[in-house]
A and B are shown apart, each in its own frame.
With several copies, the nearest count.
Chain A
Amino acid sequence: MSSPAELFPPTKKPAEALSGVTVRLAGDSGDGMQLLGTQLTNTSALSGNDVATFPDFPAEIRAPRGTRAGVSGFQVQFSAEEIFTPGDGVDTLICMNPAALVTNIGDLRRGGILIVNSDGFSDKDLKLAKLDVNPLDDDTVEGYRLIKVPMTTMTRDSVEPTGLSVKFADRCKNFFAMGLVFWLYGRDVEPTLRFIENKFSSKPDVAEANRLALKAGWNYGETTENFASTFSVPAAELEPGVYKNVMGNQALAWGLIAAAELSGKELFLGSYPITPASDILHELAKHKNFGVRTFQAEDEIAAVCSAIGAALGGSMAITTSSGPGIALKGEGIGLGLILELPFIIIDVQRGGPSTGLPTKTEQSDLLMVMHGRNGDSPLPVIAAQSPADCFDVAVEAWRIATKYMTPVFILSDGYIANGSEPWKIPEVESLGKIEINHPGARSPDDEPFMPYARDKNLARPWALPGTPGLMHRVGGLEKQDGTGNVSYDPDNHQHMVDTRAKKVERVAESIADVEVFGKSKGTLVLSWGGTYGACRTAVKTALEAGVEVGHVHLRWINPFPANLEKVLGQYDNVVIPELNTGQLRLLIKDKFLVNAIGLNKVKGKPFHVSEIVDKIKEVAGK
């Protein structure tokens, strides 16, 4: 095998420098677009760009080939600047078939590059996409820089030397497309060559075919006159450090593992599979050598209850799900709350209500997470803001859970869960330990043990079965403070309800104040969860356009950070963009009586930055 540089000679065409590019790859779910996207992302990250991705799967496992329902997309933005989203408008769109074209073209910016596999537009393909006319021949593609590439033919030709059958040869066409895209943006092929070698180590002919296809795509770019120039995107100025590209669910799982290590605990996950949360279970199940135990329960109720059982025993207990499953856990969570045991409930939100849009993103479980239990039952709630942030959120949630002896909710969403971005790998030593004290053994001569005695944080002791002399019984009935005995006393009930509420409020003493980005007057954009990136980018854009606007992003939604009220008071207008009908807005209006303005979108899709910019300008009167 020759060296990459020989096989993939740098382009001789001029390279136009860009600050950032958004590329979307779209094809049939069998076309390997996710793989292509991942390679492009990793390569760009390795070459120093800031990157952010957004994969968009079909709802079906294997939707019928060539249909619109079967289109699989992957969007990546790589940039020389710090970025927060996978990009709004697409600069370059690669489409492998007509279904991909018609379902994605709407997001390509005017004048953008449209590369299509022209071999994928046969009459049969058109019919599968329910098209009467070839969109390459009508006004669908007008206003774009259309480049038709007979990818299938060229791939077949290029892999011929391997002797692979046509069926297998055709599977290589994503590598052809990859070669072309890599060439166009001057990406380094080395990591991909390494990937091919590892992945197909047992199938050398397939490995070779993919290499050949990759090279053919690269060469095609250099040869064809369709491209007058290439583009380069220089490295971004990121904080120095070692980086790694992470997906949200992966980062969450790793954060949980880290939290367990930092607190000297073993991790127990009780979970039932559900999109888009399952990958946390899958990821954790891989790391049993960290003392991780994963339990695929018979349902979500058993999942949360098993976690509470593990918490009772002293483990770091977790339960993960998405909306419909979280709805089922309400009763169990209520028990965890009154037991005042620490554990973590993770809701990776998806489109609702009911089964809704399982593969799409949304932020519409916030109020369920706040209120979806009988009785007055407040719990701390923290929301991750981006894929990499999931790591920190996991650690922080566990810190609060154990410090205050309470279940804690973590909110993520489908966009964060499957999206990816560079994560600055922390120094393990720099991660603060999480101090946990379990009361020790007592003899019969000691004072009787008080399972509901409270410390200054109102936390009760976490007494573990197995400890001599601490025997006690807990349950779902109201209990006397101190002794923990069942109590029907009216004043005690009031006291306990108040105490549980106060405890959650006190969490505010242990969390960071909100920080204002941008201006401290005028219009405030208040966001939470996965819309962080779009909001931050929009506020940046608006600031550049001279709008008096600031951005505050909430990680903790219950309790709100201590300084939030003061900050809100500095602004004339508060805009709350949410992928729901106004759930944070409800909480903010209730708490602070602020007439917040909603920017609400419930389409199963993240915000476009431009939507937020427009709203900011509208509200700011610009």
Chain B
Amino acid sequence: MSTELPVLSAKDFASDQDIRWCPGCGDYSILAQMKTVLASLGKKQEETVFISGIGCSSRFPYYMNTYGLHSIHGRAPAFATGLKSTRPELDVWVITGDGDALSIGGNHFIHLIRRNVDLNIILFNNSIYGLTKGQYSPTSKVGKVTKSTPMGSIDQPLNPLSVAIAAEASFVARSVDTNIKHLRATLQRASEHRGTSFVEVYQNCNIFNDGVWDYAKAKATKDETTVELQHGKPLIYAGGTKGIRLNGFSPETVDLDGNIAQDDLLFHDEKIESSQLAFLLSRMRHPEFPEPIGVFRAVDRPTYDSQINAQVEQAVEKKSKGDLKTLFNSGDTWTV
């Protein structure tokens, strides 16, 4: 974490553009938390770049007083890879939606993650196509009735976290648009991680998919339906009354009624090399399980941008800085 004092305030990160999201959209909160986090981390406007695809969520860069690219549908990871590989000192954020990242952009998404380019992906998951007015998305549940699926969707949804973990992610996390404190903390953790940080944010689209995450957001239910991950701590939720225990390689929920010791519970470890635990946690879905929120996995591995630049340095070291004259005259030449 940066030790400098914050020099900019959250509102210094607001651009002069009118915000064009629907009133009540979950995107507003994510925008607000992002500005706060960047300010609190002492980030500089000019060293920050937001790159998005297409979708409601992808309008995000317009609203940040930083550099920004509102690119084309699904390809933000590729633009970001080109930028970060050549300008590793910049702080790069990829903003994307469930359609943008997982439908048209699924391939770039997994390749960015496996390469571990040092940047942050924030996926606004509203389980719907917002901008095109309400078709189902790759995270929509089977049976979902939308304009394009009047008889209900028949596609098994993708689990964004599982996919990211299988794609060798070094950092994966989940948060919720309205859970302001948690969202801030999660964005901050993402920013601090070296390598590709992937954060799924449950985001409400109040126009086309209102309430899809209500279970995880509503005061009344969220304690029962989510479990906050804490490194080194057992998985306990429902105000301390319930926990998660491992049964073979499957998790199970248990009542902490005194018969079960905390030590019997599953302890979270975001730093283990192997991705089994993170994968297992990603499979805990509502309503069978409380859904984990927080950081699932945060491990260290070399970043693409540092290595591509290191190879340049090594080449210079080995062959000395390239010289056109030497290049041109290499191999067989003759004089006329």
Picked from A242, A273, A465, A486, the residue with its CB within 8 Å of the CB of B335 is A242
Q: Does A428 contact B (CB under 8 A)?
A: yes
Picked from A46, A61, A272, the residue with its CB within 8 Å of the CB of B207 is A61
Task: Assess the B46–A278 pair: CB atoms within 8 A.
Answer: no
CB distance from B49 to the nearest CB of A (A): 5
Q: Does A181 contact B (CB under 8 A)?
A: no
Task: Assess the A257–B327 pair: CB atoms within 8 A.
Answer: yes
Query: Restricting to A257-307, which residues have a CB under 8 Å from any CB of B?
Result: 257-258, 261, 266, 268, 270, 272-275, 278, 281-282, 285-303, 305-307
A-side interface size class: 35 or more
Quick one: closest A residue to B108, CB to CB? A302
Task: Assess the B336–A310 pair: CB atoms within 8 A.
Answer: no
Task: Assess the A278–B132 pair: CB atoms within 8 A.
Answer: yes
Task: Assess the B46–A294 pair: CB atoms within 8 A.
Answer: no
Task: Assess the A306–B82 pair: CB atoms within 8 A.
Answer: yes
Q: Does A475 contact B (CB under 8 A)?
A: yes
CA distance A69 to B22 in the complex (A): 12
Task: Assess the B15–A473 pair: CB atoms within 8 A.
Answer: yes
CA distance A505 to B45 in the complex (A): 37
Contacts of A285 in B (CB 8 A): 147-151
Task: Assess the B130–A61 pair: CB atoms within 8 A.
Answer: yes
CB distance from A420 to the nearest CB of B (A): 12
CA distance A476 to B72 in the complex (A): 7
CB distance from B57 to the nearest CB of A (A): 12
Q: Does A478 contact B (CB under 8 A)?
A: no
Q: Does B255 contact A (CB under 8 A)?
A: no
Task: Assess the B23–A298 pair: CB atoms within 8 A.
Answer: no
CB distance from B235 to the nearest CB of A (A): 34
Query: Restricting to A546-577, which residues have a CB under 8 Å from any CB of B?
Result: none
Query: Restricting to A40-57, which residues have a CB under 8 Å from any CB of B?
Result: 42, 45-48
Task: Assess the B328–A335 pair: CB atoms within 8 A.
Answer: no
| A62 and B23 contact, Cβ closer than 8 Å, known pairs A281-B148, A289-B312, A298-B108 | yes
CA distance A69 to B309 in the complex (A): 43
Task: Assess the A355–B72 pair: CB atoms within 8 A.
Answer: yes
Digitize B197-208: 1 where CB-to-A-CB distance is under 8 Å, 0 elsewhere.
000000000010
Task: Assess the A289–B147 pair: CB atoms within 8 A.
Answer: no
Picked from A46, A288, A308, A314, the residue with its CB within 8 Å of the CB of B315 is A288
Q: Does A249 contact B (CB under 8 A)?
A: no
Picked from B51, B62, B85, the residue with its CB within 8 Å of the CB of A268 is B85
Quick one: closest A residue to B15, CB to CB? A473
The interface of chain B, by Cβ under 8 A from chain A, is 15, 17-23, 44-47, 49-51, 54, 56, 61-62, 64-75, 77-87, 89-90, 103-104, 106-108, 111, 129-133, 135-136, 138, 147-151, 207, 308-309, 311-312, 314-316, 318-322, 324-325, 327-329, 331-336
Contacts A302-B77, A465-B46, A473-B62 supplied; 16 other A-B pairs, CB < 8 Å: A45-B332, A272-B103, A288-B314, A293-B308, A298-B108, A301-B108, A305-B108, A309-B79, A309-B86, A310-B86, A313-B82, A314-B87, A315-B86, A425-B328, A425-B333, A472-B68
